[in-house]
Amino acid sequence: MPPAGPPAGPAPRRGTAWAEGVERLRAAATTEPGRLRIIGAVLAALVLLFGAVTVWEISVRVGAADDVVGRSQPLSADAASIYRSLADADTASSSGFLAGGDEPREVRQRYEKDISNASKLLVNAAANTGADEDSRKQIALLSEQLPRYTGLIEQARATNKQGLPLGGAYLRYANEQMSTQLLPAAQRLYEAETDRLYTDYDDARSLPLASLGTGLLALAALAWAQRRNYRRTNRVFNHGLVAATAASLVVLMWLLVGHTVARSELAEARSDGQESLKVLNDARIASLQARASENLTLIARGAVLAADNKSDKYDVDFTSEMKELDAGLATAQRLADDSSGQEPVARAVEGVKQWKQRHAAARETDLRGDYQDALPQVIGDKDHKDSSGASFDTVDASLEQAVAHEQKEFTGAARGGLGALGGLVTGSAALAVVGAAAALLGIGRRLSEYR
């Protein structure tokens, strides 16, 4: 029996799937059909990538623009309305108190409407403010303190009807709570919601750099492929590659034009709408606070002193708040860009001038010790229709009209920005698929020449 030979060596190690794939790709790249298949796959992938990135980036911007129109700006406006309603309620309560036991029905209804409106807006804000912790904290504080404030007002009203001087103390305490707790919380809520609005603005207006980059890359690759095709076949056009280039170019131009228009409209909404709204809301709030201080000057009768321990606190507050109102109206006049916005602001400016004159006359009467004559000069009666209260009503009505106009301007511009992006998500996806298919068909036609 012949001796056994040496044992067989181990079987050759099989390469990994990745290594085998690379090897096949390298082998394919050595032939023109293989190279064409690789080029076709890369072109289709680039066009699809361009479409996918465009869909993603524009979807984010459409969502942000939609939030500007449908969520963050309305919430910012609601927060401003909460502040205004609270300030107006404080003004109405002091006006009713000055009228004594015969509180005018319309003043009482105005107070109740303001409190009801603030309560409803707080409920709406709590339901829609999302996960913003600061906003939720301010809403909780307002919801907790508002019933305490209304309780103090009712106590002041009941005591005042009995003719007891303690009613003024209750009212001053209620005003202090409004000034130190409720209004600052409402201001912080407004600032938080406005910050979120500006964040949505920035998200909606941010440039789609990734989409632009992949679009240019896809077009460059398509141009290179067509140049390569021309040099190898002397044919000027490959219909499939031309169609893919056209589809990609349409998406890129649509993206550029649509987003440019959207940025412009949103910028207009912010500069001509939201900025004006903020200034007008601040001016309106300053007018309400000034009116409340004017009323409290008569109610306190010098019982509360300013920091210098000499001047009447509420008279000092009135002067400061009127300065804020003047500054706000000056800015509002500068921002108003059409007659519909300029006219109500101009009426408010004239109303403020008249208000100051009437307040000065009433204050002079009060300082002479003639309270009974000063009172109708401030709150008005059948013999004193030209009261400072009537001037305040003119200012408030004019500012309300200006706010309504700027809100309309904002909504129109913001919706225009959202509309400029309309159809781009669906259109870019469809054109990307068409472009990728056209690129494959164009390369496929060249491959058919090798069969």
What are the pLDDT digits (tens) for 189-225? 998 888 888 899 889 989 999 999 999 999 999 999 9
DSSP labels for 255-319? HHHHHHHHHHHHHHIIIIIIHHHHHHHHHHHHHHHHHHHHHHHHHHTT-SB-TTSSSBHHHHHHH
Q: Work out the average pLDDT over 46-67.
A: 93
Residues listed for the chain = 451
CA distance 445 to 27: 22
pLDDT one-digit tens code per residue, 355-406:
999 999 988 988 888 888 888 888 876 555 688 888 999 999 999 999 999 8
| Alpha helix positions (H), 162-208 | 166-177, 183-205
Tell me whether residue 203 is exposed, middle or buried, using C-beta atoms within 10 angstroms of its C-beta: 0 to 12, 13 to 18, 19 or more. middle
pLDDT one-digit tens code per residue, 281-307:
999 989 988 988 888 888 877 667 767
Give the whole-number percent of the chain exceeding pLDDT 90.
40
Q: Is the dihedral of CA 66, 72, 75, 79 positive or negative?
A: negative
Amino acid code (one letter) for 142:
L
pLDDT one-digit tens code per residue, 61-96:
999 989 888 888 888 889 999 999 998 898 888 888
pLDDT confidence of residue 37: 83
How is residue 153 written in tokens?
């007002």
Q: 32-67 vs 209-233: helix axis angle to the nearest 10?
A: 160
Instruction: Give 427's pLDDT tier (boundaries 50, 70, 90).
Output: very high
Of 5-14, 106-115, 221-230, 436-445, give the lowest mean pLDDT range: 5-14
How is residue 96 written in tokens?
């009713």
pLDDT confidence of residue 313: 85
Instruction: Give 251's pLDDT tier (boundaries 50, 70, 90).
Output: very high
Domain ranges of the chain: 36-448
Radius of gyration in angstroms for the set of CA atoms belonging to the chain, rounded to a whole number: 36
Helix (H, G, I), strand (E, B) or coil at 381: strand
pLDDT confidence of residue 13: 53
Instruction: Give 17's pLDDT tier (boundaries 50, 70, 90).
Output: low
Tell me whether residue 433 is exposed, middle or buried, using C-beta atoms within 10 angstroms of its C-beta: 0 to 12, 13 to 18, 19 or more. middle
Give the whole-number percent of the chain exceeding pLDDT 70.
89
